[in-house]
């Protein structure tokens, strides 16, 4: 098992090992707990350089598990998605079947599809509210334009007819 020990303490190490003892159980093949450094790339990505392992490995990151966290095992031959498990006390757990030499585990935090959809819906709602608020001005301006255009067209069409029917030939 490996975990990010950059902000840990000996008491925390002992506590974490005791809390997860039920998960590992007594096993002759279980390797020792190893502290590995992590490197934060900005505020939304952390990269952990892993030690090679032929058997299963558990990597625990001390960070709150929220929707939006994803993990990828990046190896010299490519990368694969890794399922994350939320554990107790603000930890995330990634279970790896094996770790090839030169591998890194990259945790990335980003908005979920649901969050992005809610942003779009919010922006469309805001645009709809703005249009609804300025709607009376558009309607009034449109009505005035239609009435003015209609009067001009009617005047042009029927003005000549009215003059020709007038006994004096003047505008009625």
- Work out the angle at residue 69's Cα, subtended by the Cα atoms of residues 85 and 32, and round it to the nearest 5 degrees: 45
* Average pLDDT along the chain: 77
Q: What is the pLDDT of residue 163?
A: 66
pTM (2 d.p.): 0.53
The reported pLDDT for the residue numbered 117 is 93
Instruction: Say whether domain 2-110 belongs to CATH 2.60.40.
Output: yes
Instruction: Report yes or no: 47 and 104 within 8 Å, Cβ to Cβ.
Output: yes
Whole-angstrom distance, CA of residue 46 vs CA of residue 107: 5
**Partners of 60 in the β-ladder:** 3, 93
Do residues 73 and 105 lie in contact, with contact meaning Cβ atoms separated by under 8 Å?
Answer: yes
pLDDT at 121: 95
Phi, psi dihedrals of residue 27, rounded to the nearest 5°: -145, 135
Tokens for 59?
């990597």
Least confident segment among 36-40, 70-74, 100-104, 108-112: 36-40
Closest CA to 47 of 108, 3, 90, 92: 108
């Amino acid at each position: 098992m490996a975990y990010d020990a950059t902000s840990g303490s000996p008491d925390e190490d002992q506590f974490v090992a005791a809390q997860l003892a039920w998960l590992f159980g007594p096993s002759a093949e279980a390797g020792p707990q190893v502290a590995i450094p992590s490197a934060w790339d900005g505020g939304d990505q952390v990269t952990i350089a892993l030690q090679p392992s032929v058997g299963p490995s558990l990597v625990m990151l001390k960070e709150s598990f929220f929707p939006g966290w994803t993990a990828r095992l990046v190896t010299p031959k490519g990368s694969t998605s890794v399922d994350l498990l939320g554990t107790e006390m603000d930890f995330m757990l990634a279970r790896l079947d094996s770790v090839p030499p030169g591998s890194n585990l990259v945790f990335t935090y980003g908005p979920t599809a649901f969050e992005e959809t809610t942003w779009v819906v919010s922006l469309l709602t805001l645009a709809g509210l703005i249009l609804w608020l300025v709607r009376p001005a558009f309607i009034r301006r449109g009505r005035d334009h239609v009435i003015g255009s209609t009067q001009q067209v009617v005047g042009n069409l029927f003005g000549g007819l009215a003059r020709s029917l007038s006994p004096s030939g003047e505008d009625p």
